[in-house]
Amino acid sequence: MSSVQLWTYLFITLSFGLYIGIAVWSRAGSTNEFYVAGGGVHPMANGMATAADWMSAASFISMAGLIAFLGRDGTFYLMGWTGGYVLLALLLAPYLRKFGKFTVPDFIGDRYYSRTARLVAIFCAITISFVYVCGQMQGAGIVFSRFLEVDITTGVIIGMTVVFFYAVLGGMKGITYTQVAQYCVLIFAYMVPAIFISIMMTGNPVPQLGFGAELTAEYGGGYLLDRLDNISEELGFAPYTEGQRSTQDVFFITAALMFGTAGLPHVIVRFFTVPSVRSARTSAVYALIFIGLLYSTAPAVAAFAKTNLMNTVSNAPYMELPEWFYTWENTQLLTFEDKNGDGLVQYVADPALNELTVNRDIMVLANPEIAGLPDWVVALVASGALAAALSTAAGLLLVISTAVSHDLLKRSFMPQITEKQELFYARIAIFVAILIAGYFGINPPGFVAEVVAFAFGLAAASFFPAIVLGIFYKRMNRQGAVAGMLAGFAFTSFYIIYFKFISPEASVPENWWFGISPEGIGTLGTLINTTVALTVSRFSPAPPRDIQQMVEEIRLPGH
């Protein structure tokens, strides 16, 4: 067993032991504890938990890689996934906390006084969460298979068992405190290699400053970003710091990711766990600071990794490449085909001449190896990636379970069940959800990357307008909200399914509506939802008095 593997086993055993320990310590005894951790979570702890909940395998593993290959255009992930928090903090979190129930369908169902609205919300919440959770399990599988060289199935089963432990036992309470621990693990694992590499390449220990600094003499001097622009151009790629996509597309994708972020049920529900309206606001600050730490580091990691990769492999003799190249080749995530038979690696933009394909997901995972960092740092990244995947998976599974036990059974179809029974159903639901998620983790549908865009687009087009209108427009009624959600959801899913699954070959800017890619269509879905909701509500009766009173109540600050 290699030294990297030994370290990886050590870190994973320690961190998993910690998570299980927390699970046993924080068992949930009531539905209140199971759904919202008793509503007594400290804003800072909730901020960390929100950050871990939010930062998924995609943020940890894929984002820096995506930015490395998109360059300037990768911006929409950075701004979209952080800017959405401003909307969440200002438009949703305080009011939903004041409303003070357990779930997003709770709010939709009560505010729009209708079982139909509640059922539509349950359907959206479950679809969005399932789509998202499959990606997490697959992320965990990749980490296990690469670093421990166990097969993906074993990896996913280990991951499922751990999540099962703390989610089923502890519910939201267990999940919250494990997420706090997972945030610490993941941020440490992300920052350590970034700082190391920043010092190595630029002499500046702060990665956020390092990627705007000059390279050390060993790397050839000059500003890192200028260097990156130059090599990219030499190899036929577009300059790194210049955008390639149309402005309106970048605009729409950014907006869709922002609205989607603010509408994701597993993030919103975290703000139900704090004790007051004021702490909901404070907790949003903490959350964004904790998230911002990773998100401001990611573009630096992207720039370092891209420079390093091109420096190392471009025109290098294949036989003399460093060890990591061959290990990653084994996973098929890195492939080399010597087309012209000269024994050198040609990495260029022209597909006919290019001999190297790099899966963007390995940029973060392979980065420490590419930079030649010590084995323990490589292993640390593996446990960080697992923390990111498992924390998000747990949050999503909880949404699925509450949607079933609380919204579907207790509030819609079986109002007579006792709290004990409800808790029992919640645990069964989370168990079944874990099994399904695990199945998709082991047999991943080939479209995980695509479906993430789906989750955001759907959240943006369904929940975001329904909740915002419910708070800020007292006149919004049942008919308007239901029609709006259905229109937004249907339009967005049709557009994405058409361009992603039915005829992906037609997915080129010329065919897109207004030049908007499927990733950005959620923004248009949001607008359609809002327009339909406002129009329909004008032509149907105003909501009952007690509902209007409820809205006024939500708008006032609590104590």
Partner 1 sequence: MHDDHARAYWKANIRVLTTLLSIWFLISFGGGILFANFLDQFRFGGFKLGFWIAQQGSIYGFIVLIIVYVFWMDKLDSHYRQNSQSNSREGDQQ
Residues found near partner 1 in the complex (CB under 8 A)? 67, 72, 74-75, 78-79, 82-83, 85-87, 89-91, 94, 208-209, 211-214, 223-226, 241, 243, 247, 250-251, 254-255, 258, 278, 281-282, 284-285, 288-289, 292, 295-296, 299, 552, 555-557
Q: Which is nearer to partner 1, 127 or 204 (CB)?
A: 204
Q: Which is nearer to partner 1, 82 or 537 (CB)?
A: 82
Q: Rounded distance, CA 127 to CA 419, Å?
A: 26
Q: How far is the CB of 263 from partner 1 (least distance, A)?
A: 16
Q: Which is nearer to partner 1, 247 or 340 (CB)?
A: 247
Amino acid at 533: A
Q: How far is the CB of 162 from partner 1 (least distance, A)?
A: 31
Neighbours of 234 (CB within 10 A): 11
Angle at 425 between CA 419 and CA 427, to 5 degrees: 105
Contacts of 255 (CB under 8 A, 6+ apart): 80, 520, 522, 523, 526
Q: How far is the CB of 536 from partner 1 (least distance, A)?
A: 24
Q: Which is nearer to partner 1, 247 or 332 (CB)?
A: 247
Q: Which is nearer to partner 1, 277 or 487 (CB)?
A: 277
- The answer to whether 436 touches 138, Cβ cutoff 8 Å, is no
Q: Which is nearer to partner 1, 378 or 550 (CB)?
A: 550
Q: Which is nearer to partner 1, 71 or 480 (CB)?
A: 71
Q: How far is the CB of 550 from partner 1 (least distance, A)?
A: 13
Backbone angles phi, psi at 223, to 5 degrees: -65, 135
Helices then strands, each counted (H, E), the chain: 23, 2
- The answer to whether 389 touches 421, Cβ cutoff 8 Å, is no
Q: How far is the CB of 398 from partner 1 (least distance, A)?
A: 25
Q: Which is nearer to partner 1, 276 or 402 (CB)?
A: 276
Look-up: residue for tokens 């990297």?
Answer: 4
Q: How far is the CB of 310 from partner 1 (least distance, A)?
A: 17
Q: What is the DSSP string of 490-557?
A: HHHHHHHHIIIII-GGG-STTTSGGG--GGGHHHHHHHHHHHHHHHHHHTSPPPPHHHHHHHHHHHS-
By C-alpha distance, which of 207, 190, 184 is closest to 51?
Answer: 184
DSSP single-letter state for residue 324: H
Task: Give just the sign of the alpha carbon dihedral 131, 134, 140, 142.
Answer: negative
By C-alpha distance, which of 146, 217, 208 is closest to 365?
Answer: 146
Q: Which is nearer to partner 1, 32 or 530 (CB)?
A: 530
Q: How far is the CB of 297 from partner 1 (least distance, A)?
A: 10
Q: What is the DSSP string of 25-40?
A: HT---SHHHHHHGGG-
Q: How far is the CB of 66 from partner 1 (least distance, A)?
A: 13
